[in-house]
Amino acid sequence: MIKKCLFLFVILNLISCTSQQKPLEQWHNFSDQWSINTQDLDPSKSLFVVYRLPEPQQKAIDIYINSDYQASLLNNGLTILELCADKNFISTSYVTNTGFGNRTEGVSFYLPSQAVTYVKVFGNDPHTPHFMFVDEQTAKQEIAQLQLQTDTLSRVVNKNCTNQSYVLATENISFAFDSYQANKLSHQDKNKLISLINIVNQDPNKITKVVLDGYSDPVGKANYNQKLSDKRAKSVATFLTNNGLSLPLEVKGFGASNLLRKDCEKVYSKDPAQIKQCNLINRRVTVSVFGTK
């Protein structure tokens, strides 16, 4: 009986001691220790920031970069990574345990050397999360109070970026509905093109190529949109050469592919004018200057 009591006493003491110890592991989703700095960034690289503001949708959103998993963003979270100053790819999907995440349906984009590009994701659609590229001024204001996501491990491959040719500058030039004439571009977009010409002409020996990718919005027939995107790219190419750009250009139309916004008709189904305005971001020519610094 004495042995039993002594054994029970020892067990109770062990339980008491164990319960007073701190947990063996503490899991932290966020960190407020983060900064965005391109001063020490190699010229062949660029910074990419994806963030999510507070919203009613609570499901985490998986972020994939070049088809590799980067993070599962929660509300108030952001993720930062270095990528090659080249053409890259982003896709998103809600976290699920019933299938694989979306690694294939997304958007291709060019990242300029030693710069920061911002993308905001949001879950306003219960079936598919959406994202949009955000200008630097707006993004800095929106991310000021956000925290760095730290609870997941990135699988994005850290590539050895080439130092022989990378993106020095890139601009999206927008078009009115069913338009392709460069002389009808806005004053702002014409200035964007002139700035690119100046970059090239400052030191043309360091420029390796200029790439023009033309796109249409999803309204209309595929064949017509393909031709329209070709005309847009060729029209911008003519504007560049007529204004002093003498380098060969790589010009191609991609029709209604690579949409920067896909939900215009769903959001504004009863308002054709709003659909056209919403799709303005899709009616574009992306001009990218490659070279070295």
Average pLDDT over residues 9-28: 48
Tokens of 238: 């003519």
Domains of the chain, with CATH numbers?
Answer: 40-149 (2.60.40), 166-291 (3.30.1330.60)
What is the reported pLDDT for 2?
52
Average pLDDT over residues 118-138: 93
Average pLDDT over residues 140-166: 91
Please name every residue paired with 291 in a beta bridge, in sequence order, or none if there are none.
Answer: 166, 207
What is the reported pLDDT for 220?
95
**Triad 152, 59, 54: Cα angle to 5°:** 90
Calculate the average pLDDT of the chain: 90
Residue with more model confidence, 28 or 240: 240
Judge contact between 79 and 50, C-beta under 8 A. yes
Judge contact between 251 and 172, C-beta under 8 A. no
Mark out the alpha helices in 136-246 (DSSP H runs).
Answer: 136-143, 187-202, 222-242
pTM as predicted: 0.85
* CA–CA distance, 56 with 126 (Å, rounded to integer): 11
**Residue of 90, 86, 87, 117 lying closest to 101 (CA atoms):** 90
| Helix (H/G/I), strand (E/B), else coil: 160 | coil
What is the reported pLDDT for 151?
79
Residue 19: band (very low, low, confident or very high) from pLDDT cuts 50, 70, 90: very low
* CA–CA distance, 4 with 16 (Å, rounded to integer): 18
**Residue of 209, 260, 257, 253 lying closest to 235 (CA atoms):** 253
pLDDT at 26 over 50: no
Span 172-188, pLDDT tens digits: 999 999 999 999 999 99
Residue 32: band (very low, low, confident or very high) from pLDDT cuts 50, 70, 90: low
